[in-house]
């Protein structure tokens, strides 16, 4: 996983990078934690504080699981 500061994939603009290794369930959970750690979270302060994540976490988890399920396992 790699998080960049902008939209270009430039090594000089990397904010965070992490290899996911181990059993598949651990890779999925680690990738999910990586996205959650690197996404922006806004806040609304109408009555108390309400965090508004950049991405819906349910959708993020589903996207990661789908990517793992449909990746090419014939590659070594």
pLDDT tens-digit profile of 22-51?
A: 999 999 999 999 999 999 989 998 888 988
Domain ranges, ordered by start, for the chain: 2-70
Evaluate if residue 76 carries a pLDDT over 80: no
Taking residues 10-29, report their average pLDDT: 94
Q: Where are the alpha helices (DSSP H) in 1-76?
A: 24-38, 57-70
Nearest CA to 38 among 24, 65, 17? 17
Q: Residue 14's pLDDT band (boundaries 50, 70, 90)?
A: very high
* Distance separating alpha carbons of residues 61 and 25, to the nearest angstrom: 12
Q: What percent of the chain has pLDDT over 90?
A: 71
| Residue-averaged pLDDT of the chain | 92
- Overall pTM > 0.75: yes
């Amino acid at each position: 996983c790699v998080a960049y500061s902008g939209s270009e994939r430039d090594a000089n603009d990397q904010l965070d990078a992490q290899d996911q290794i181990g059993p598949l369930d651990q890779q999925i959970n680690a990738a999910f934690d990586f996205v959650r750690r690197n996404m922006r979270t806004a806040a609304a302060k109408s009555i108390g504080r309400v965090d508004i994540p950049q991405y819906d976490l349910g959708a993020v988890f589903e996207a990661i699981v789908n990517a793992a399920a449909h990746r090419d396992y014939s590659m070594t």
